[in-house]
């Protein structure tokens, strides 16, 4: 499990965490079923979907681009920016939809309207969105903010002895 910072109520997910967890998700998804392809929910689902596609030897990938957040603020209505045409035409039947996290379920609800017969899988699931996902790896409390590596940046920090007091 990624690093939980209790004082900030944050879960910090690293690149190795994503890679490991995507592979664990594959183990849960391998069933001998022949998937037509993968739909990555952008942007968070892109990296896990690439890893899942590689490990499951699936060559057909598409994206469903939905904007539901602006920084940490939830948008009033999900905006569908791009649809996966083949998967949409088939109502998602035989398609695997991958995202990094299901939080309140806003993105997955909009996705399920377009792809009601798809199989939805996420790395992390919060209680409000959990009923909307078919397969997930980790439970995360609703109040925890999850920071993924594509949303953060490593930077140089002065040694403590050289910092101003209180920093």
Sorted by where each starts, the structural domains of the chain and their CATH numbers stand as: 3-162 (3.40.50.2020)
To the query of whether residue 10 is one of the catalytic residues in this protein, the response is no
| Contact (Cβ atoms closer than 8 angstroms) between residue 60 and residue 38 | yes
pLDDT of 167: 62
E strand segments, the chain: 3-5, 10-12, 37-42, 61-70, 73-82, 95-102, 119-125, 135-139, 145-147
Among residues 99, 134, 139, 153, which one is catalytic? 99
pLDDT of 78: 87
Stretch 30-56: mean pLDDT: 95
To the query of whether residue 100 is one of the catalytic residues in this protein, the response is yes
Among residues 17, 21, 62, 100, which one is catalytic? 100
Stretch 13-39: mean pLDDT: 95
- Confidence class for position 132, pLDDT limits 50, 70, 90: very high
Residues 134 and 63: their CA atoms lie apart, in Å, by 19
pLDDT of 77: 79
pLDDT of 163: 86
Stretch 65-88: mean pLDDT: 84
Enter the DSSP assignment of 32.
S
Neighbours of 124 (CB within 10 A): 27
To the query of whether residue 151 is one of the catalytic residues in this protein, the response is no
pTM of the model: 0.87
Among residues 62, 73, 103, 134, which one is catalytic? 103
């Amino acid at each position: 499990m990624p690093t939980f910072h209790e004082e900030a109520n944050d879960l910090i997910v690293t690149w190795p965490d994503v890679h490991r967890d995507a592979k664990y998700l594959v183990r849960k998804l391998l069933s001998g079923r022949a998937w037509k392809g993968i739909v990555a929910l952008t942007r968070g689902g892109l990296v896990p979907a690439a890893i899942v596609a590689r490990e499951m030897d699936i060559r057909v990938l598409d994206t469903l681009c939905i904007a539901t957040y602006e920084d940490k603020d939830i948008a009033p209505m999900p905006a569908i920016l791009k649809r996966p045409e083949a998967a949409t035409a088939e109502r998602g039947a035989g398609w695997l939809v991958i995202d990094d996290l299901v939080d309140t379920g806003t993105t997955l609800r909009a996705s399920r309207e377009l792809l009601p017969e798809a199989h939805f899988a996420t790395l992390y699931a919060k209680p409000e969105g959990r009923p909307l996902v078919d397969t997930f790896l980790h439970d995360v409390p609703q109040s925890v903010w999850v920071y993924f590596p594509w949303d953060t940046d490593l930077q140089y920090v002065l040694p403590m002895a050289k910092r101003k007091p209180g920093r």
